[in-house]
Structure 1
């Protein structure tokens, strides 16, 4: 791959919201004395926040997926459709699945968390062959219609293996989408710790009640294996299951760990308040779950890293507001100890999600 050595080279790995906003900034302000390259496996963006709504049938796939070509062209960036195989921050090179070694001056990493299939297989033998992995999202949205079509033929026993709000939201969405016409049932296997124990009492109570309303069975247990017909659980019980949806165990990609950019104890990126790597200051990493509107600050820091100036502090604290889709045009909202739910909450959530999604591509 040819890179002009006379110009600074900014490489964007992944199309999380922050990197998309960087591209949008380049489209508005121009790149100036540097060139940008976007590396991501697929030529479009899928919004993970709206995925449960797609599963529930509230959004068509085209409502949550947008081609990248117009934004990339407007930004003047080069698009490289490839996976990352390795990153060497010492030599400032990214090894791609295409076989190219891509050099950079400054690197911005904003990639989707992944579920490592080898680790999943080690902890749940049979997972690689039998589970429908929720990540990468691109693969999941291609396979989900097949499961939905099968539920139109006969009643299924579906299990969602996942913790926290994400696991509960996916279970509620699947329960709503698959129930008719034959009564498919969904079980949420949420680990051994009480579901949403770290959340407010109001949010936890409302989510648990909503799971009951949708006939979702909640098991505080851990899956230890699967064979295509039965799930084996840590408690020693067995659970009949036609389709396990695996949402647990999503982490930063393994090449980040091999590059020495993750904390060994937590597996989280080691970054400062500027989102710079602690050990490689030309590398910026957007942590999973970062605020959706940090892109302009990230763009400013990337420019500073290339040409000098004052860095900006990037606050990572997300809003105290939690909004959880409950399927069937229903949502739950919680702000600290306050909570409410119903169709009006869903209507507000849908308008907000669509507005934020469309704003990502409005130049």
Structure 2
């Protein structure tokens, strides 16, 4: 792979929202002394906040999956369709699945949360062969119609394995989408901790009521294995299951864990208030729970890292509005202790999500 040595090389790993906001900013204010490369497995961006709506039938695939080509072209970037095999911050090189070793001056990592197959197989033997993994999203949206088609042939027993918002939203969307015509039933296996215990009590109560309304069985248990016919739970129980959906990621992908950017004990990212790695200041990493509006600050800091100037702090712990899709044109929102739900809330969330997605790709 040829890189112009006379220009600083900015490499963006992953087509996450923040990296795409960086591309958008660079498209508006281009600079001749920077070359840009975007590395991602697929030439699409899938809006994860709208995925439950796609599952529930509120959106088409074209509504939630946007091609990257126009944004890449406008920014003057080079798109490399590849997976990352390894990252060596010491030599500033990224080893790609294409066989190329991509050098960089500054690196921005904004990748999709991973569900590592090997780790999942260790925790839940049989999952690699039998589970439908929700991530990567691109693979899941291709396989989802097959499960829909099967539900039109007969009633299914579906288990969604995942704690937190991701598991709850997926369970509610699937329950609505597959209820007709044969009455497919959904079970949410949400781990031992109370579901959404870190959310406002009012929101948690509304989500639990919504699960009950959709006839979703909530199990505070963990999946310990699967064989294609049933799930084995840590409690010792067995659950008949036609389709297990693994909706919970294991955090950072293996190559990021091996790059020395994480705390060895906690597994959390070692980054400062500017999103820089504590040990490798030319590497910037967007955490999974970063605010949606983080991109412009990231762009400014990437420019500073290449051209000089003052860095900006990123408000990672800012209080934010929480919104959860509830299936069937229903949503729940909370701001502090206050919460609301219903179709009007869904209409508001729909307008907000569509507006944010349009804004992301509008040059």
TM-score interval, normalised by the smaller of the two chains: over 0.9
1:307 is displaced (CA, Å) by 1.4
1:36 is displaced (CA, Å) by 0.4
Contact 2:320 2:335 in 1 (8 A): yes
Please state whether the residue corresponding to 1:146 is helix, strand or coil.
Answer: helix
Supply the distance in 1 between the matched residues of 2:257 and 2:75 (Cα, whole angstroms): 30
Matched residue, 1:109: 109
Supply the distance in 1 between the matched residues of 2:295 and 2:120 (Cα, whole angstroms): 32
Supply the distance in 2 between the matched residues of 1:31 and 1:224 (Cα, whole angstroms): 53
Matched residue, 1:34: 34
Matched residue, 2:183: 183
Please state whether the residue corresponding to 1:98 is helix, strand or coil.
Answer: coil
1:265 is displaced (CA, Å) by 2.4
Is structure 2 residue 225 aligned with structure 1 residue 220? Answer: no
Aligned pairs (5 A) from 1:1-363: 1-363=1-363
Give the alignment's TM-score, normalised by structure 1.
0.99
1:318 is displaced (CA, Å) by 4.6
1:250 is displaced (CA, Å) by 3.0
Supply the distance in 1 between the matched residues of 2:241 and 2:101 (Cα, whole angstroms): 44
Please state whether the residue corresponding to 2:328 is helix, strand or coil.
Answer: coil
Supply the distance in 1 between the matched residues of 2:332 and 2:119 (Cα, whole angstroms): 33
Aligned residues: 363
Supply the distance in 1 between the matched residues of 2:306 and 2:231 (Cα, whole angstroms): 52
Contact 1:12 1:39 in 2 (8 A): yes
Supply the distance in 2 between the matched residues of 1:253 and 1:105 (Cα, whole angstroms): 22
Supply the distance in 2 between the matched residues of 1:253 and 1:18 (Cα, whole angstroms): 18
1:159-180 CA-to-partner distances (Å, cap 9, x unmatched) read: 0000011111110000000000
Supply the distance in 2 between the matched residues of 1:271 and 1:70 (Cα, whole angstroms): 31
Supply the distance in 1 between the matched residues of 2:39 and 2:225 (Cα, whole angstroms): 35
**348-357 or 264-273: bigger deviation:** 264-273
1:357 is displaced (CA, Å) by 0.7
Which of structure 1's runs of 4+ aligned residues deviate more than 6 A?
A: none
Supply the distance in 2 between the matched residues of 1:298 and 1:321 (Cα, whole angstroms): 21
Supply the distance in 2 between the matched residues of 1:139 and 1:360 (Cα, whole angstroms): 23
1:230-287 CA-to-partner distances (Å, cap 9, x unmatched) read: 0000111000000000012431111111110011222221100000000000000000
1:53-73 CA-to-partner distances (Å, cap 9, x unmatched) read: 111111111100011111100
- Alpha-carbon RMSD: 0.9
Supply the distance in 2 between the matched residues of 1:145 and 1:250 (Cα, whole angstroms): 25
Supply the distance in 2 between the matched residues of 1:239 and 1:92 (Cα, whole angstroms): 48
Contact 1:290 1:318 in 2 (8 A): no
Please state whether the residue corresponding to 2:361 is helix, strand or coil.
Answer: coil
1:23-80 CA-to-partner distances (Å, cap 9, x unmatched) read: 0011100033110000001111111111111111111111000111111000000111
Contact 2:166 2:248 in 1 (8 A): no
1:200 is displaced (CA, Å) by 1.4
1:326 is displaced (CA, Å) by 0.6
1:190-243 CA-to-partner distances (Å, cap 9, x unmatched) read: 001111112111011100000000000000000000001100001110000000
Contact 2:113 2:249 in 1 (8 A): no
Supply the distance in 1 between the matched residues of 2:263 and 2:50 (Cα, whole angstroms): 29
Contact 1:108 1:283 in 2 (8 A): yes
